Structure 1
Amino acid sequence: MNAPASEENAGQTELWLIRHGETQWSLSRQHTGRTDIPLTERGREQARLLAPILAQARFDRALTSPMARAIETCHLAGLGEHAEVEPELREWDYGIYEGRTTAEIREKEPGWSIWDSPIPEGESIGEIEARARKLVERLAATRGRIALFSHAHFLRILAGCWIGDSAALGAHLLLDTATISILGFERETRAIRQWNVRHPDIG
């Protein structure tokens, strides 16, 4: 996979969104925000498989969430040497729902959804949207190709803010572990160029 910016869009920002590899909680579908859980061995192998894909592109910058699962993915994928930690790439703070699955939460709160329900002691969707929009504005002003190692919900929200200034759009963008997605431009319009692409050996 390699999707360099077209000549027409040269000089514009291109964001490569890389979700970290598998963790035990991503496998069990537990909400993982501030818990610094490591990659599984399969997650490490997923990250290594990203390296030859990312090696085909030239990145102006590489930024990673401060969480160990993202930093380790960045290093195993070959971009760790010059990566910078970006605190705004951290995952959604799930508050009292940290470590719980949606199914477990719905046993007491039928119909609960991360996208439109309160998050006691955590971030509201408005708060995380503001965080993502602020980061989008900053990155769009820097230009160049930038690799971002982060987490499922935050990257989905970032993409929603990129294309429509709306965190809620992230609900429609599924994102698997150890995948690469690309945000860029179609002329002057922000667009999704590729989404949720993973190495064929990840399965």
Structure 2
Amino acid sequence: MNREVLGARIIQKKLIRYRIGLTYPEITDLENKEAEDTINQLIQEEIYRMIVEQGYEEDYTIEIWGDYEVKVNDKDLLSILLNIHSYSKGAAHGLKAVKALNIDLKRGKLYELKDLFLQNNNYIDKINEIVKEEIVTKDIPLLVEFETIDKRQDFYLTKEGITIFFQIYEYTPYAYGIPEFKISYDILTEMIDIKSPINAFLKE
């Protein structure tokens, strides 16, 4: 693999079990094989965790299917979304859960939101402000009032910015789907840690 690309080669794999059918990514051809194994283990563990959270081990009549999306795969940064759908017989509708994994391809490190920003900076307050403004301007229906994100907040990365998202029913009704709030890196530049992986995209 040409490491000038600074991305990972991704193979689509399938998980087929009783009432389960989904695709998921497998990373290959990394120079650091230990990191490669760690990343693939992270992906598989997260998929199984999501399946269990849908209630599969308690109710084998539940049907589960899913796929994934690659949001960025460049400059030694991989950001992927794992989408898991489930349906229980007799339910009014199915459910969807989404998990983002933001990974350092060199070390196999899983990034949390706090890893991207200066710890002495008010990045949480700034993101909260942006989310609250968008809730108002887009008239997003809420089940409960939005107060704040936290350091373990769900998010994914692109070359242009960070997207904060919430699960169905976390703040919004089922019909609204997964609420996403896209924030350009330019808005957060002064808050980004020098060691943050997104610095590579700011310099383009």
- The structure with higher relative contact order (CA 8 Å, sep 6+) is 1
User: Which structure is larger by alpha-carbon Rg, 1 or 2?
Assistant: 2
TM-score by length of 2: 0.29
Identify, as 1 or 2, the structure richer in strand. 2
More helix by share: 1
Task: Give TM-score, length-normalised by structure 1.
Answer: 0.29
